[in-house]
Structure formats: structure tokens, C-alpha cells
Amino acid sequence: MVFLRRTVRVAVLTLLVTPIIAVTTASQAAADARKRPQADAGAPARRMLAQLKVAGPLSIRGYSHRRFQPRWAHHRGRCDAREVVLARDGRRVRRNAACHPVKGVWYSPYDGKWLKSEKQVDVDHVVPLAYAWRSGASRWSQARRRAFANDLTRPELVVVSHSVNIAKGAQGPQSWRPPRRSYWCRYATSWITVKHHYRLFVTREEKVALLNMLRTCRR
């Protein structure tokens, strides 16, 4: 009987201590996780940016929109690249038989506006065509420039409000940034991704501006 009582007492103590150990272990693990450095969302973009050549801008001489885009290229049947992006980035988009959007709602990430008419939106080239020309695209073939202007794979095309697109024009990040600061990380990352893929160079001022924008990326 004495042995049995001791066995029961040990079992009870084990049951009481085990949860305490589990809680202590979980708390320690959580503390260790907080101490570990978090992943830097801007790190991949910084690495790509470091690989880009830094040079002065080329001349705008010879540039015209038609050197890149005499018209939007067709990608899916009757749908051209602009119509594909409008359908991709919009909500409840309805299109007519020719693939043109006749109804929908679009969000402009540059300025945070919701737009209910296709007439209020533009499909922006994140790296403007004229800016790409001065960054090395002037040396490309017509086919490569056309592919750049209609690229649906890289983050080069995005739906934005007409007003913010006009304000941006052909400016780089050293002279224009999206009014929404919370979008700076995404904008800089997209800009760098496009330039890295197409091996376009950056100016020194442009690189500094991009690095400053990447500081807004959450860790």
C-alpha cells in the first residue's frame, strides 16, 4: 500500500509539472523567435538593384511612343494587353464582344482611388517608355521594345487613375513617387524587377531614390 501511494503521488506531480514545462518551453520559443531577425521584404530588390549598371541617362533624341507601341499587342484572342490588364486588375468587369470593358470597378494603388468607369483609368507603364529609352532601350530592336511595352509577365503594367498617371508622366523615382507612401515598397520593387529583367541601367540619383523607397518595406 505504501508503494502504491508513492506511485500515485509521483504520477500526480508529473501531471502538474508537465504543463508548466510545456508553457515555459513555448514562452522561451516565442522569445527566441522575437530575437531572431525578421525577413527583409526589400532584400531581393536590393540585390537586383546592386546588379544594375549605374550610368548617366542617354539622349531622348529619336524617341517616340510608336517606337515601342504603335498599338497594344493582342494576347488572348480579341483582347489586347490593355484589355487583359483592365480585366485582371478590376472587379466585376464586364466586356463586350470585342473584349473592351464596359463596366467594372478599379482601384488605383498609386493614389488610393476607387474608380467606377473605364474612362477614369489608365494602364500605366511602371517604367515609362521614354524613361526606358534613356536607360538603354534606344539600342533595342523594335520587337524587343514592343515586347517591353506589352509585357504581362513582369510588373510593368498596372491600372491607375488617369489623373495620377498624367502627374507621373515619364518621370523616374528621383522626381516622382506614388502619393501613397504605403505603396512605395511595391512600386520600387516593381521598377527594379522590370529594369533587372531587361538589363536597363539606372542613374545614381535614381538608385538613391529607389533605396530610400525600399526602406519602407516591412520587416
CA distance 158 to 168: 13
- The reported pLDDT for the residue numbered 112 is 97
Tell the residue number behind the cell numbers 515601342, with chain if given.
68
**pLDDT, mean of each 10-residue run, the chain (219 residues):** 43 40 42 46 93 97 96 88 96 93 96 95 98 98 97 98 98 98 98 98 98 92
Cα-based distances in Å from 74 to 83, 138, 150, 215 = 9, 23, 9, 38
- The reported pLDDT for the residue numbered 28 is 53
- The reported pLDDT for the residue numbered 7 is 43
- Residues facing residue 79 across a β-bridge: 76
- The reported pLDDT for the residue numbered 77 is 79
Locate the domains of the chain by residue range: 1-36, 39-214
Q: What are phi and psi for residue 47, nearest 5 degrees?
A: -65, -40
- The reported pLDDT for the residue numbered 218 is 83
Q: Which residues are CB-contacts of 41 (< 8 A; sequence separation ≥ 6)?
A: 185, 217, 218, 219
* Amino acid at site 8: V
